[in-house]
Amino acid sequence: MTLLRALLVVLVLWSGTAWAVNPDERLADPGLEARARALSKELRCMVCQNESIDDSNADLAHDLRVIVRQRLLAGDTDAQVIAYMRARYGDFILLNPPVYEATWLLWFGPFGLLLLSAAGVYVAAHRRRSIDAPLPLSEDETLELQKLLESEPDRS
């Protein structure tokens, strides 16, 4: 019985995204519906922010899915639908924003932080090694050590 409940929970969680698109939103033409679903997976839900509008159950995501389908029914290409959404909501609507000067920090910032962190670890390790390493004896210190070792009685 416990296994059956666990399986039911897994199935419900796994299929939850399929329930985001309501039956009343779907287009009659399977080709247009497939394009709408593909476009919806590229667009960010402005409420959830980490989900596509295809996966989100938010009211705004529903409205955006309807707009996508209306634009497709009006004869827009996929690029025109994306351009329409970008003009209306900015690049933030895209789950994968384009790479250009204004988004360099977004795209390359994490790699820069990783490199800075690695450089910091390297410098810290190098400094620690140089602090822990004993300095070599000067000639005078070496001679004095030799004298001390020779003058010490044999204790064996």
Query: How confident is the prediction along the chain (156 residues), in pLDDT tens digits per residue?
Result: 676 666 655 555 554 444 456 665 666 677 888 888 999 999 998 888 788 888 888 888 899 999 999 998 898 899 999 999 999 988 888 888 788 888 788 788 999 999 999 999 999 888 877 676 677 888 998 999 898 888 877 665
Residue 34 and residue 7: Cα distance in Å, rounded?
Answer: 29
Residue 22 and residue 62: Cα distance in Å, rounded?
Answer: 8
Residue 4 and residue 69: Cα distance in Å, rounded?
Answer: 38
Annotate 88-155 with DSSP letters as a single string. HH-GGGBSS---SGGGHHHHHHHHHHHHHHHHHHHHHHHHHHHHHSPPPP-HHHHHHHHHHHHHSPP-
Angle CA 121–122–123, to nearest 5? 95
If DSSP codes are grouped into helix, strand and coil, which group holds residue 18?
helix
Beta bridge partners of 94: 43
- Spatial CB neighbours of 72, under 8 Å, sequence gap ≥ 6: 27, 32, 35, 36, 39, 81
